[in-house]
Amino acid sequence: MSNDVCHIALTFDTDNDFFDHSLVQDGQDERALMRWRGVEEGIPILMDLLGSYTGSAGEPSRITWFVRSDGQLATYYDDPAYLLRQHDELWQAALRRGHEIAWHPHLYRFEDGKWMQETEGEKLEEQMTVTLAAIREAGYEPRSSRIGEAYGSNVLMSLLEGFGMQCDSTAMPGRKRVDDERLLDWSRTSPGPYHPSRQDYQVSGEDGFSLLEVPMAMARMKTSYDAEPYLRYVDLSFRHEVMKQGLRDLLQNASLLVTITHPSTILPDIVDSPHGLLSFDVREYRRNLEFVLSELDMQGRPYRFVTIDECRALHGDRRM
């Protein structure tokens, strides 16, 4: 048995409901379908559900909400901070509960009729500058970030640090995908928080940024359409039977569990047909969370819910 505390960071990306290509019909651009049932209906359900959970010592659950704020929203709503302003009462209620409101930009450019990942440094800086100004004008001061679709680069890390981010939680250790849909590479990244090297954002280094990278938890899972188990981020809205064994294996050694969920995936009727991985059922989210807590109980390990911003102190971090 171990007395080591497992810290659990429940995080949510407040993306549009159709955040992945598997959720739309062929030929549709999921990045351009702006529907927000996940924010409007899903988040209140999740707040009520998770408000009933506490850590082993009775501390209340704490959540990190990564709120979409970026140039694409400025294009559609004439305001990069549209979601923050439109649902201000929701975010203020979250803050009163001790939750964290963090920044979740999708850094796109519009090209040939489609939204594409922006990679050019000056364009990234321009979009991020305008967006952060709008966020602050709306009354929020995020200290943590997660870049949409897990895009990362040395330039981006430098920009995030320059804009005052103290934590980032974009890394997906072991994953690389470079194709027409995604541009991400965390293939050399190890689990656990680290200060990214200025020469290679994927690894730590003595020349590291002051910003702390807090990777998402990753586990091997096998869906009905996988030939072999596949490394995926830990999303508690995934089908329980798909993720149970990978989650159990992960919890044997995890001291920090960073989960990621899109609020729309706990709601029914988001998509027309069953999905092989996403449950669209809040009961499955609860089942997976209770599985995590029961596994830790069986290991004799206490647990505590934390925000991403709190991970700096857990890391023994003194850089500011």
The fraction of the chain above a pLDDT of 70, given in percent, is 94
Residue-wise pLDDT for 238-262, tens only, equals 999 999 999 999 999 999 999 999 9
- In this predicted structure, what is the pLDDT of residue 167? 98
- In this predicted structure, what is the pLDDT of residue 312? 94
- In this predicted structure, what is the pLDDT of residue 91? 98
Topology of domain 6-314, CATH = TIM Barrel (3.20.20)
- In this predicted structure, what is the pLDDT of residue 258? 98
3-state DSSP call for residue 66?
A: strand
Residue 269 has pLDDT above 90, yes or no: no
Q: Are 128 and 107 in contact (CB under 8 A)?
A: yes
- In this predicted structure, what is the pLDDT of residue 263? 96
Residue 1 has pLDDT above 60, yes or no: no
- In this predicted structure, what is the pLDDT of residue 19? 67
Radius of gyration of the chain from Cα atoms?
A: 19
Q: What are phi and psi of 222, to 5 degrees?
A: -130, 115
- In this predicted structure, what is the pLDDT of residue 313? 93
Residue 202 has pLDDT above 50, yes or no: yes
Q: Are 146 and 191 in contact (CB under 8 A)?
A: no
The answer for residues whose C-beta is within 8 angstroms of residue 272's C-beta and 6 or more apart is none
- In this predicted structure, what is the pLDDT of residue 316? 81
Domain boundaries, the chain: 6-314
Question: What is the average per-residue pLDDT within 45-72?
Answer: 97
Residue-wise pLDDT for 160-170, tens only, equals 999 999 999 99
pTM of the model: 0.95
> Which one-letter DSSP state was computed for residue 270?
S
CA–CA separation, 35 vs 256, rounded Å? 32
Give the pLDDT band of residue 36 (cuts 50, 70, 90). Answer: very high
Give the pLDDT band of residue 3 (cuts 50, 70, 90). Answer: low
Count of all residues that appear for the chain in the document: 320
- In this predicted structure, what is the pLDDT of residue 177? 92
Residue 204 has pLDDT above 70, yes or no: yes
The fraction of the chain above a pLDDT of 90, given in percent, is 84
Higher pLDDT pick, 216 / 35: 216
